[in-house]
Chain A
Amino acid sequence: MAEVKVTINGAQTSGREGVTILELAQENGIKIPTLCYLTELSPTGACRICIVEVEGSRTLVGSCHTPITPGMIIQTHSPKVLATRKVIIELLFASHCGFCMLCNKANVCNLRELAADLDVGLSPFQTRKRFYPIEDNPYIQIDRTQCILCRKCVRACREIAENGILGIAYRSFDTKIVIDNDQPLAQDTCRDCDICISVCPTGCLSKPKKLSAAKTGKPLIIC
């Protein structure tokens, strides 16, 4: 395959034809943040955090889904890019529950990590909050209050688990991850593979705490 020459952050480099800007950046040791991208999944372009500046383009360009073209001049961390990424995170935080202190994902949360990187403090924007009751079932505990709609779980369920029980429903701000046609998780459809849980960037999907089920054997303290 032909090599495509591009300039990235001032340095000349080249990549195979068909490689995305993000992949090329990674090969060159440049870290572009992502929220909805995962190597194993098809790109969707939903979160827009991975945007970069490409000379001659009217808008910023999603690097996770845009292939490199000959002569492309790319800036991955220009002031314009950073300012835009910051506002996107501020927006995501505006509707996010904000209970990071109580969240079991707190220190491994991708959203929080990005917020720290981009110096995001209290969000200046006021939107509705997404408050949904926590959905509990034996397989996946779903707390949509923490969902940032990256759709990794939806794609993982379809593309890796080849099951497709997770989907997207409703529009605009009310968009949410649903099971089947927005029904409670039916026991016979979920294969309990946990793949969706493993790809969730926030605390939205987690393993249910089976508090009593695991109590077997002798009690620890014997009076």
Chain B
Amino acid sequence: MPEKQIVLKNCQMINPRDINTYLARHDFKALAKAQVMEPDEIINEVKASGLRGRGGAGFPCGSKWEAARNTPGDEKYLVGNADEGEVGTFKDRYIIENDPFTFIEGITIAAYAIGAKQSYIYLRSEYHRLRNLLENAISQAKDKGFLKHVKIDIREGAGAYICGEETALMDSIEGKRGEPRYRPPFPTTKGLWGNPTVINNVETLMNIPNIILNGAQQFRQIGTERSKGTKVFSVSGDVAKPGVYELVLGSKLRELVIDLAGAETVKMVQIGGAMGRIVSSTMLDTSLSFETILGAGGVIVYNESRDTIDIVLRTMEFLNKESCGKCSPCREGTEAMVKILQKFAGGRGTPKDTGLLEELSSTMMLASLCGLGQAAPFPVIDSLQYFRHDYESRIK
């Protein structure tokens, strides 16, 4: 069975409002072990584990920590990215709702390793109701003496998808309008208020206590060549059992959407939300890994009754609305794409329009300032590749 509970092992097993139920199982043992290690040792362990970021980009976690640790400076920051704005993604919510303590333990270890005395949890405003639960968990951990070396504060977003993007997130924490910054300099050298900063997804940090406790070698045992460990997916759409599933990396898409979630007729699957990739039903044997397709974990299944153009248009309308408005290829490009897709939706496409979509896609992917504009064309190019007839049948 490809299912394996590593990240989610405490979910439904402990009371998220009572640290004692967590201590009964784990006792913050990973933090205790980490604190007798040298920070460099921890970083090397995380590097050896092969853990890659679970927030979408898959950047090697240990290398990111190392970069921040090696940048000179007294003031360093760690941010747990709980913005989870991606369409159809709700795994971080499930994690926080059920096991805030492992998340907090992960933050404390990461902060210790990079030398951060201050950390933030950036919580999306739509998850406001989780704030109380998190604050409660933080204060319980503090009372037990686990937060002596690091302060954890919660910062709430204001409802912008872009603020999940790490540089926009930092602007938002600094109290500015959330807009991506150009890179380099990367956050690990110049992040929050110009100081070295590590930003990690919730799920990435959830893996840390396990790696420290059981060692990199054990973590590396499952997964593929370049994708180690498990991944938490949130499945929604035309499936019998929507929900959160944790699978060994490299598992087949079929195992997730058919075997576990119980999809019947699949037309297409959107993997990784609005900025993710679209695959057709003939590709259900694709494996889910960083080498192939992964994204942040949101998997949306569409059955035969769904209309391709409608799906792509809605996705593009979302991205257009959420574009921050800073760089011209994304701000104007998503707008132009919506207009062309609307023509197809109304059966008024022209033969020239598919070419224009391709030209636009290329420009946006190559020239946009951040990941939003660079990934926004994915649904268009993927659907043009696998469902081109759906476009051609709408040409008047």
A33 at the interface (CB under 8 A from B): no
Question: Once the chains are docked, how many angstroms separate the CA of A124 from the CA of B320?
Answer: 19
The answer to whether B366 touches A149, judged by C-beta atoms less than 8 angstroms apart, is no
Nearest neighbor of B368 in chain A, beta-carbon distance: A48
| Cross-chain contact of A46 among B322, B326, B340 (Cβ < 8 A) | B326
Determine if B259 is an interface residue (Cβ-Cβ < 8 Å).
no
Contacts known (A125-B356, A173-B320); A148 close to B363, Cβ less than 8 A: no
Of all chain B residues, which has the CB nearest A45? B182
Q: Which A residues touch B381, using CB under 8 A?
A: none
Task: Give the number of chain A interface residues (Cβ < 8 Å).
Answer: 37
How many B residues face the partner with a CB closer than 8 A? 35
Residue contact B329 to A88, C-beta cutoff 8 Å: yes
- The digit string for B67-100, where 1 denotes a CB below 8 A from any CB of A, is 0000000000000000000000000000000000
Interchain Cβ contacts within 8 Å, total number: 116
A73 on the interface (CB 8 Å rule)?
no
Q: Determine which of B181, B332, B366, B374 lies in contact with A95 in the assembled complex, contact meaning CB atoms within 8 Å.
A: B332
Give the distance to chain B from A40, nearest Cβ to Cβ, in Å: 18
Contacts of B368 in A (CB 8 A): 48, 59
- Check B322–A124 contact: CB distance below 8 A: no
A65-B182, A84-B362, A88-B329 given; A51·B367 CB < 8 A:
yes
CB distance from A51 to the nearest CB of B (A): 5
Report Cα–Cα, A65/B322, bound state, in Å: 24
CB-contact partner of A48 in B184, B329, B359, under 8 A: B329
A185 within 8 A of B: no
User: What is the bound-complex CA distance between A172 and B317, given in angstroms?
Assistant: 11
| A:75-133 near B, CB below 8 Å | 80, 83-84, 87-88, 91-92, 94-95, 124-128
B333 contact set on A, CB distance < 8 A: 91
In the complex, the answer to whether A148 meets B328 with C-beta atoms within 8 Å is yes
Give the residue name and chain of the A residue nearest to B178 (CB). Answer: A171
**A67 in contact with B328 (CB, 8 Å):** no
CB of B325 within 8 A of CB of A171, answer yes
Task: Find out whether the CB atom of A127 lies under 8 angstroms from the CB atom of B332.
Answer: yes
Q: Are A43 and B325 in contact (CB under 8 A)?
A: no
B331 in contact with A149 (CB, 8 Å): yes
Which A-chain residue is minimally distant from B364 (CB atoms)?
A87
- Given A67-B184, A125-B339, A171-B160, CB of A59 within 8 Å of CB of B374: yes
B321 at the A interface (CB under 8 A): yes
> B324 an interface residue at 8 Å Cβ cutoff?
yes
In the complex formed, the residue of A with least CB distance to B374 is A59
Instruction: Pick from A67, A88, A127, A174: contact of B367, CB below 8 A.
Output: A88
Residue of A nearest to B332 (CB): A91
Q: A59-B365, A65-B182 are in contact. Are A126 and B336 (CB under 8 A)?
A: yes
Closest chain-B Cβ to A87's Cβ sits at a distance in Å of 4
B290-341 with Cβ < 8 A to chain A: 320-329, 331-336, 339-340
Residue B339 contacts which of A47, A65, A83, A126 (CB distance < 8 angstroms)? A126
- In the bound complex, do residue B332 and residue A47 qualify as a contact, i.e. CB atoms below 8 Å apart? no
Q: Which of B347-396 contact A (CB under 8 A)?
A: 352, 356, 359-360, 362-363, 365-369, 374
Listed in ascending order, the chain B residues whose CB lies under 8 Å from chain A are: 160, 177, 181-182, 184, 320-329, 331-336, 339-340, 352, 356, 359-360, 362-363, 365-369, 374
**Minimum-distance CB pairs A-B, first 7:** A175-B325, A45-B182, A91-B332, A87-B363, A125-B336, A48-B367, A127-B335
A residues near B, CB below 8 A?
Answer: 43-49, 51, 59-60, 62, 65-67, 80, 83-84, 87-88, 91-92, 94-95, 124-128, 148-149, 168, 170-175
A-B contact pairs, 9 of them (CB 8 A): A45-B326, A45-B369, A66-B184, A88-B329, A125-B340, A149-B326, A149-B331, A171-B324, A172-B331
